Structure 1
Amino acid sequence: MSTDHPILDGLDAEQRAVATSLAGPLCVLAGAGTGKTRAITHRIAYGVQTGAYQPNQVLAVTFTARAAAEMRTRLRDLGAPGVQARTFHAAALRQLQYFWPQSIGGQMPAIIDYKAQMVAEAARRLRMSTDRASIRDLAAEIEWAKVSMNTPENYVEAAAGRADVAGFDRTTVARIFQAYEDVKTDRHMIDFEDVLLLTVGILDTDERIAAQIRSQYRHFVVDEYQDVSPLQQRLLDLWLGDRRELCVVGDASQTIYSFTGATPAHLLEFTKSYPEAPVVKLVRDYRSTPQVVELANLLLNGRRIEAGVPDRNVVWPEPLELVAQRGDGPQPSFHELADDEAEGAYVAQRIRKLIEEGTQPAEIAILYRTNGQSETYEQALAAAGIGYQLRGGERFFQRREVRDGILQLRAASRMDAEGSVAQQVKDILSSLGYSETAPAASGAVRERWESLSALVALAEELERTRSGPEQSFTLMEFVAELDERAAAQHAPTVQGVTLASLHSAKGLEWDAVFLVGLSDGLMPISFADDQAGYDEERRLLYVGITRARVHLSLTWSLSRTPGGRASRRASRFLDRIRPRGEAEAIPGARPVKRRRQTGPPTCRVCGSLLSTPGQRKVGRCNDCPAGYDEAVFERLREWRRVTALDAAVPAFVIFTDATLIAIAEQNPPDTAALSRIPGVGRTKLERYGAEVLEILAGQDA
């Protein structure tokens, strides 16, 4: 098969390797910003255009409706419109609806959108007292149990080692889990996990239906494979049967949904299941500047496990080392503010400056760990007169002006109007408040205009990409595109600064990103209390950093309220990635200096948590190799012995063995560095510091 096909033009060597590997299993390890969607959509389109694939026999699955819609749009533009691109749930639901009459019979149950109401009813049946927070936590735990393929009967055993949920022990949670299932049965309803479970059950027990699906879909592509749950993997296995036509794409360093049952194990062990599968690594980062890429690499390398040293707590796979392909940009900035209000004002001030310098508001994002942090930045942006949109708030296609606009566009599409589609859209939406220039007013008027402006911008974009010498883009096609996007909640870009949680920012990117609230307790979050939890938080911060194309700002505050006690400290993850020196001179800013790590310390060799005072003092596990010169250590011990004899005190009073080891390993060059070693206080520094530094310098004390 020729590899000179026009559809391969513009792909780099690794992307081309992905696009031309059409048969058999394939594993693609794709770092952030490396063009993975481009690679796999070109692979599918190349297979379709060369006849290797039939469009209706390809199923591409991913994890969000937006990502699936984006994939369908790209495939359509590449000449492969018949390919199915869906989420796992959407694909399973379509199959379940089709096969329900012949497999189960009767009317298919309704699907509940949210578990909270059912979980609350289950708790009431058991006469248990709950509040909104506990209901939320119980719903999340039930979801975890179901996607991990556990039932109320085996939950207690399966959840061994997991923290108690909402103050309930595992036996009580199992009872609530069973009551929840009973409530659904009584009301003839199912949840989203049931969609997968029921589809798995049908395919597992009815070979005739399984064979029908396998004859329909011959080739599978799974994006974001690091986020696959055991239940989704089981469904994928049943879709495949004994075939091996599977391409998976993922990055273990972007696993951020472990709390929902996602696991990178399937990605990391793919070649065990498919030994013949080639592995292609995409590491050329086309999204971010070298400065942003370097910071992202530093963050992951800060937890890297040295070769040959096992981690006794959790597997940390070797991260992909990204290589920036863009030109230089500004260095990421680090700023410490006095309180949350000062941090919000500073971020708004920086955003105002970026907008004045030409950055579009839609290309700026403020990302935080929890949704509860958004209010500070909403108020700061509003005070600065800067428009914004909350990701995770009211859905775009549910806004009244958007619904009204689509109704008017649909009515107009039935007429034989001529001319530019974009101009027709502008004319039609002008009656609803659209104008070429943004209104001076803020609030609801500005939000309405931004929604309508987003529809106009989408019309202009689609007309530009789908019109050509031999084809024209019509208003009816634009309305059909809007209907499809509304069904998938694939909203167009709104001209406002985006406020979003780090989790909801996955898969998105902006020219400028502000990572805010980066203090211990928020990043990592306070309930991350073991190595696996800290690793997940590190990956979450990595996702945040890699959302930025050019400008990246990392900020934190010392107090929640003005005048409050400065009890916060910068995130421990920043220790190894932020520069030494002072912060930029800004109102409310504090000096940015390196500090000792706070929170549970980790081994500097293997990254494991350190459990004893001696281990914490030397900074490594007992089993990890020492990193010091034995001759230097022996000179220090001999000096200590003589000094102790002269002072007529036990040797450990001078320095303990652990402190001597730490001194030998860290080899401090001056008194300032020596003073930072645990066990070296001011008195000992004044009394013994000069002699210790002479020994380290190779001199006889």
Structure 2
Amino acid sequence: MMAITQYPELLEGLDAKQRAAVTSEAAPLAIQAGPGSGKTRVLTRRIAWRVATEQDEADKVLAVTFTRRAAHELSSRLRQLGVSSRNEGVTAGTLHAIALAQLQRRAGNNRRSFPQLLERKARLLFPLVLPHLTSDQEVGGRVEEFVQVSGVASDIEWAKARLIKPTDFSKEAIRLGRDTQLPPDKIEEIYGEYEKVKRTKKLVDFEDLLWWLGDALEGDKEFASEQRWRFRHLYVDEFQDVSAAQLRVVRGWLGERSGLTVVGDVDQAIFSFAGADPKGLTEFTRQFPGAEVLRLDHNYRSSPQIVATGEALLNDSYQTGSSPRPPRLASRPDGPWPTITEYENEVKEAQGIARQIREQLTPTNGWSSFAVLYRINSQSAAFEAAFAKQGIPVRLRGETRFLERA
């Protein structure tokens, strides 16, 4: 392993609150880090600091992220700090990748084969969903069918993230106010059929990985002890977006120990539609007795106008009677004020954005000057259809077109 960066260098360029988060001896610890507050820098410096000061053993550290890109960035920064390499040092990866590796190793140790991973649900769900579509939905063509199937897949993923079994789907969806793609009883039927098809074909999906690992950590004491010995120091990024299934795995890894650091921001909890529950962060001290919470409130990325707009929207969304939000502070020069437009649904949103792009196109403001960000992959179908109708060329980053995925 590379030489550890000297202690003072690990604190260079950090503000007072960032330094406090890096050097805190609290365990468990939650770092509530707002947008642009240097979250990844603080997380990697904290890991390096604790390894350098011999509070953590590098090869016993597990750093969990929620995307492969974030895992790659985390690993890259840790290598630069001298605390991670392929054969020794910190293990960093996505929750699903780590779960898959642990389950495959367990199956191998028990001389059992492990099912094949189903990376895309669409092909498996299409024949299960189509019989439940109305004539109006069928008339909508391939795009409408894909939207319906993607919506059903999201409903199933939401249920499994919350550890809801097929037989309980309708009851729980109604109780929790879930706005399902199809009536809850139809989703329940499709969900049950989907699970049967997977078993027949010897497949597992990403949600199964977390459910199965949680079961193994709770039901197999020897396996749980092995994982807890292997990873004694846990670091979890984006903790505001953990689901019940994910939190169960984290608890299973932790056991009775306190070596847990989490980073997140309740205001960035945008995956409740996928089963995430920000209570993992908001109720951190209740769920992990003896824990401490530190806050990073300086935004070093965005202009004051963007920060102020975000603050206004977030303050309006806070429940009456709840404690006031800690303000976020901007540290960048002034910029233009953003505009906010609300649409009735995803299709009209895509059509409206396509029209705006057409209207703003000029010889000096070409196609490559525009970018559209959406939070879930299934939204791409509506945008691709709207842009095709307007003759707008599209280059997708990080995914394939929906017809290739279907």
Band of TM-score, shorter chain: 0.7 to 0.9
**One of 118, 121, 136 as aligned partner of 1:115:** 121
> In the TM superposition, what are the counterparts of 1:193-212 in structure 2 within 5 Å?
193-212=207-226
1:230 is displaced (CA, Å) by: 0.1
CA contact (8 A) 1:147 1:231 kept: yes
CA contact (8 A) 1:30 1:249 kept: yes
Gap change, CA 1:78 and 1:260, over 3 Å in 2: same
Work out whether 1:99 is the aligned partner of 2:106.
yes
Q: 1 CA distance for matches of 2:158 and 2:338?
A: 38
Q: 1 CA distance for matches of 2:82 and 2:65?
A: 20
Q: 1 CA distance for matches of 2:291 and 2:249?
A: 21
CA contact (8 A) 2:27 2:292 kept: no
Unaligned runs of 5+ in 1: 311-316, 356-360, 396-701
Corresponding position of 1:486: none
Q: 1 CA distance for matches of 2:173 and 2:353?
A: 37
Work out whether 1:26 is the aligned partner of 2:29.
yes
Indicate the SS of the match to 1:99.
Answer: helix
1:333 is displaced (CA, Å) by: 5.0
Code of the residue aligned with 1:41 in structure 2: it is T
> In the TM superposition, what are the counterparts of 1:477-516 in structure 2 within 5 Å?
none
> In the TM superposition, what are the counterparts of 1:119-518 in structure 2 within 5 Å?
119-122=125-128, 128=132, 131-161=145-175, 162-163=177-178, 165-168=180-183, 170-306=184-320, 309=321, 318-326=324-332, 328-332=333-337, 334=339, 343-349=356-362, 352=365, 365-367=371-373, 370-371=379-380, 372-373=382-383, 389-394=395-400
Gap change, CA 1:349 and 1:15, over 3 Å in 2: farther
Residues 490-525 of structure 1, C-alpha deviations (whole Å, 9 max, x = no match): xxxxxxxxxxxxxxxxxxxxxxxxxxxxxxxxxxxx
Q: 1 CA distance for matches of 2:163 and 2:132?
A: 26
Work out whether 1:53 is the aligned partner of 2:59.
no
Q: 1 CA distance for matches of 2:155 and 2:374?
A: 23
CA contact (8 A) 1:344 1:380 kept: no
CA RMSD in angstroms, aligned pairs only: 3.0
**One of 87, 90, 93 as aligned partner of 1:86:** 93
Unaligned runs of 5+ in 2: 1-5, 135-144, 342-350, 402-406
CA contact (8 A) 2:152 2:182 kept: no
Q: 1 CA distance for matches of 2:340 and 2:29?
A: 43
Q: 2 CA distance for matches of 1:320 and 1:235?
A: 30
Gap change, CA 1:45 and 1:272, over 3 Å in 2: same
Indicate the SS of the match to 1:302.
Answer: helix
Code of the residue aligned with 2:108 in structure 1: it is P
Residues 37-64 of structure 1, C-alpha deviations (whole Å, 9 max, x = no match): 1101000011122222211111111111
Code of the residue aligned with 2:96 in structure 1: it is H
Greater helix percent: which structure? 2
Gap change, CA 1:335 and 1:134, over 3 Å in 2: closer
Corresponding position of 2:72: 69
Corresponding position of 1:42: 45
CA contact (8 A) 1:368 1:374 kept: no
CA contact (8 A) 2:22 2:43 kept: yes
1:256 is displaced (CA, Å) by: 0.9
1:120 is displaced (CA, Å) by: 3.3
Gap change, CA 1:239 and 1:347, over 3 Å in 2: farther
Q: 1 CA distance for matches of 2:225 and 2:354?
A: 61
Structure 1 window deviating more from structure 2 (16-25 vs 187-196): it is 16-25
Indicate the SS of the match to 1:263.
Answer: coil
> In the TM superposition, what are the counterparts of 1:514-663 in structure 2 within 5 Å?
none
Q: Give the number of the structure with larger relative contact order, counting CA–CA contacts within 8 Å between residues 6 or more apart.
A: 2
Indicate the SS of the match to 2:150.
Answer: helix
Gap change, CA 1:187 and 1:19, over 3 Å in 2: same
Q: 2 CA distance for matches of 1:223 and 1:183?
A: 34
Residues 317-365 of structure 1, C-alpha deviations (whole Å, 9 max, x = no match): 7444211112x223315499x9766521344449739x9xxxxx79x74
Structure 1 window deviating more from structure 2 (83-92 vs 133-142): it is 133-142
1:129 is displaced (CA, Å) by: 5.3
Code of the residue aligned with 2:236 in structure 1: it is V
Q: 2 CA distance for matches of 1:365 and 1:172?
A: 37
Q: 1 CA distance for matches of 2:67 and 2:215?
A: 24
Gap change, CA 1:119 and 1:380, over 3 Å in 2: closer
1:166 is displaced (CA, Å) by: 3.9
Residues 62-114 of structure 1, C-alpha deviations (whole Å, 9 max, x = no match): 111111111111111111112111111011011011111334x4211101111
Indicate the SS of the match to 1:159.
Answer: helix
TM-score normalized by structure 1? 0.49
Q: Give the count of matched residue pairs.
A: 368
CA contact (8 A) 2:26 2:291 kept: no
CA contact (8 A) 1:110 1:188 kept: yes
Q: 2 CA distance for matches of 1:375 and 1:182?
A: 33
Q: 2 CA distance for matches of 1:278 and 1:83?
A: 24
Code of the residue aligned with 2:218 in structure 1: it is D
Gap change, CA 1:160 and 1:93, over 3 Å in 2: same
1:368 is displaced (CA, Å) by: 5.5
Q: 1 CA distance for matches of 2:257 and 2:159?
A: 29
Gap change, CA 1:163 and 1:272, over 3 Å in 2: closer
CA contact (8 A) 1:252 1:319 kept: no
Q: 2 CA distance for matches of 1:349 and 1:329?
A: 26
Question: Based on CA coordinates, which of the two structures has the bigger radius of gyration?
Answer: 1
Structure 1 window deviating more from structure 2 (184-193 vs 343-352): it is 343-352
TM-score normalized by structure 2? 0.81
Q: 2 CA distance for matches of 1:375 and 1:321?
A: 40
Corresponding position of 1:685: none
Code of the residue aligned with 1:391 in structure 2: it is R
Q: 1 CA distance for matches of 2:112 and 2:193?
A: 24
1:381 is displaced (CA, Å) by: 9.9
CA contact (8 A) 1:122 1:183 kept: no
